[in-house]
């Protein structure tokens, strides 16, 4: 496309003009450095980086969003390839993230990626979100230098250490459903239609999926990659053997509520109560119970439940509806961890359930003390 008519497009639909492709970017590594990736232009180099996260779909989507925004900004606003960006350019980009202009070109309501109304931003980013974006972009540049694609990392010149997720973690921990809202979602699922055979199948799989998400607190990719064999009995207790971040395999307790739901789901599809030794069934199956589903499909199923539930609450509980519209699969993980803390489960056990590296991360999910503090302040008022 003509570089004078560039508009924001998703990465998979983007074709950079030859002069902006990055084939001759000013920051490209010299020929005597062996390139470790097969990319010949910036778009290919970014896709190589994103491919490293294909086993973690949510991480991949978050990283794609930031790489996509930077590349589009570079092409449209700076009219230069990603591989020519300098430290001064990145300083301008940080300011742009705080107020993407022109607004009509860059911002809009969330739309499917193939929709002509799709935009990279919904609006200006907070300072914490900008810090997170720069951290991700720094990782992108570092990868390209290590891969022999770029000569240097322009963000490596920052005098102060890039702000990590320390401030954003608090925001992440707030992305959960309060007890009342969670119960509303549970009630909505239980009220799903069950008249036809298909409706019965949809109800059973959604009910089971939300039990998995709430009672085991997994990442969506962990469900997509797990088999029925991962639910196993050891020393008379039932556990879920899950392989998560860093390919670490750990055991998560399967309580009676989860075990009953697991058995119910299997029996609905005509399977035995517990997996057979030679069974290859996926932990979460497609509607017909014949094969596994992708992490993306699980994400879409959960989003649909939240959006449909939000539509029902639009008039009676607009606050609930607004929150559900934003919620996603990862909110379920945060909800699980938060509700475990609310239930008084010991911090050391919650840390193991969540598979957090540090107890400080787990402590972000303890909201009970804040609620008591808020209630105590009710005595301080003007009558």
Domains along the chain?
Answer: 3-164 (no CATH), 179-377 (1.10.443.10)
Contact 185, 304 (CB under 8 A): no
pLDDT tens digits along 204-233 = 999 999 999 999 989 898 999 999 999 999
pLDDT above 90 covers what percent of the chain?
60
Measured CA to CA in angstroms, residue 337 lies from 85, 198, 212, 342 at distances of 41, 32, 13, 9
pLDDT tens digits along 30-57 = 988 899 999 999 999 999 999 988 877 7
Measured CA to CA in angstroms, residue 84 lies from 30, 69, 89, 274, 354 at distances of 14, 16, 9, 57, 41
Does residue 179 carry a pLDDT above 80? yes
Residue 86 backbone phi and psi in degrees, to 5: -115, 175
Q: What angle do CA 9, 11, 16 make, to 5 degrees?
A: 75
What mean pLDDT is reported for the chain? Answer: 85
Predicted pLDDT at 369: 47
């Amino acid at each position: 496309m003509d570089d004078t008519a560039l508009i924001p497009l998703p990465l998979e639909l983007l074709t950079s003009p030859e002069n902006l492709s990055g084939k001759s970017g000013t920051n490209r590594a010299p020929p005597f450095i062996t390139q470790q990736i097969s990319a010949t232009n910036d778009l290919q180099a970014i896709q190589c980086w994103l491919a490293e996260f294909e086993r973690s779909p949510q991480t991949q989507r978050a990283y794609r969003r930031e790489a996509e925004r930077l590349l589009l900004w570079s092409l449209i606003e700076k009219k230069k390839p990603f591989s020519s960006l300098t430290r001064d350019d990145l300083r301008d980009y940080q300011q742009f993230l705080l107020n993407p202009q022109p607004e009509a070109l860059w911002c809009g309501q969330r739309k499917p990626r193939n929709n002509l109304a799709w935009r990279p931003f919904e609006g200006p980013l907070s300072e914490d979100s900008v810090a997170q974006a720069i951290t991700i972009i720094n990782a992108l540049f570092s990868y390209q230098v290590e891969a022999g694609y770029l000569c240097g990392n322009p963000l490596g010149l920052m005098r102060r250490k890039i702000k990590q997720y320390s401030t954003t973690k608090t925001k992440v921990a707030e992305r959960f459903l309060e007890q009342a809202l969670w119960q509303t979602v549970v009630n909505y699922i239980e009220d799903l239609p069950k008249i036809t055979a298909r409706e019965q199948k949809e109800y059973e799989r959604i009910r089971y999926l939300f039990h998995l998400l709430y009672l085991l607190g997994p990442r969506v990719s962990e469900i997509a990659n797990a088999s029925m064999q991962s639910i196993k009995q050891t020393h008379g207790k039932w556990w879920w053997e899950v392989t998560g971040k860093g390919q670490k395999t750990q055991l998560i307790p399967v309580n009676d509520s989860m075990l009953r739901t697991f058995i119910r789901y299997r029996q609905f599809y005509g399977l035995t109560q517990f997996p057979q030794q030679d069974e290859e069934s996926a932990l979460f199956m497609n509607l017909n119970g014949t094969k596994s589903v992708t992490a993306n499909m699980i994400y879409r199923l959960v989003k649909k439940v939240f959006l449909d539930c939000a539509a029902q609450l639009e008039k009676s509980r607009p606050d609930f509806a607004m929150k559900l519209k934003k919620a996603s699969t990862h909110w379920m993980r945060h909800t699980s961890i938060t509700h475990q803390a609310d239930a008084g489960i010991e911090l050391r056990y919650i840390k193991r359930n969540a598979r957090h590296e540090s107890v400080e991360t787990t402590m972000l999910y303890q909201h009970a003390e804040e609620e008591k503090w808020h209630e105590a302040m009710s005595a301080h008022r003007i009558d």
